[in-house]
Amino acid sequence: MIELREVTWDHPDSDRLRTDQQAEIAVRYGTPDSEPGPKPSAADITIFFLAYDGGDAVGCGGLRTLDASHGEIKRMYVIPGRRGTGVATAILRHLEVEARSRGWDRLVLETGDEQPDAVRFYEREGYTRIPNFGYYADSELSICFEKRF
């Protein structure tokens, strides 16, 4: 059973999972920094969750406030050995509930063209491709999505 816990951005398990995610992305894109714009930080992430199975952190995801009615999903990640087991879906559903509880009617996100698994996941979960926005507007590698509630 997956348990979702709100944690601080700098929680040790949060740091570890985000570091693992960035290492995986660096391999996929062939560069240590493929993210357009500023990296998320404790100062701009509104809320962050870890998914635990027993005592093991197996995934994470957070929300960044963009304005009064919508936010951005940041740092969604599930460890490779737990992909395809429902962990990502549980995290995403939790983020969506959190967004609605804040009065948001829309979530947006950015993924990349070297992450076809993420693209399939978000499309399956009802996210629709949109023009690249914000820092991603001029990024040829970025693929952006939204979901309205």
Give residue-wise pLDDT tens across range 59-75. 999 999 999 999 999 99
CB 59 within 8 A of CB 81: no
Instruction: Give the domain ranges of the chain.
Output: 2-105
What pTM, to 2 d.p., does this model score? 0.96
CA 117, distance to chain mean position in Å, is 13
- 102 in Cβ contact with 42 (< 8 Å): no
Neighbour tally for 126: CB within 10 Å: 11
Q: How many residues does the chain have?
A: 149
Report the C-alpha gap between 24 and 40 in whole angstroms.
17
Q: What is the pLDDT of residues 14-40, one digit of tens each?
A: 999 999 999 999 999 999 888 888 899
The answer regarding whether domain 2-105 maps to CATH 3.50.50.60 reads: no
Q: What order do you get walking across the sheet with 56-67 strand by strand?
A: 2-7, 47-53, 56-67, 70-78, 106-112, 142-148, 128-130
Residue in 25, 101, 117 with CA at minimum distance from that of residue 63: 101
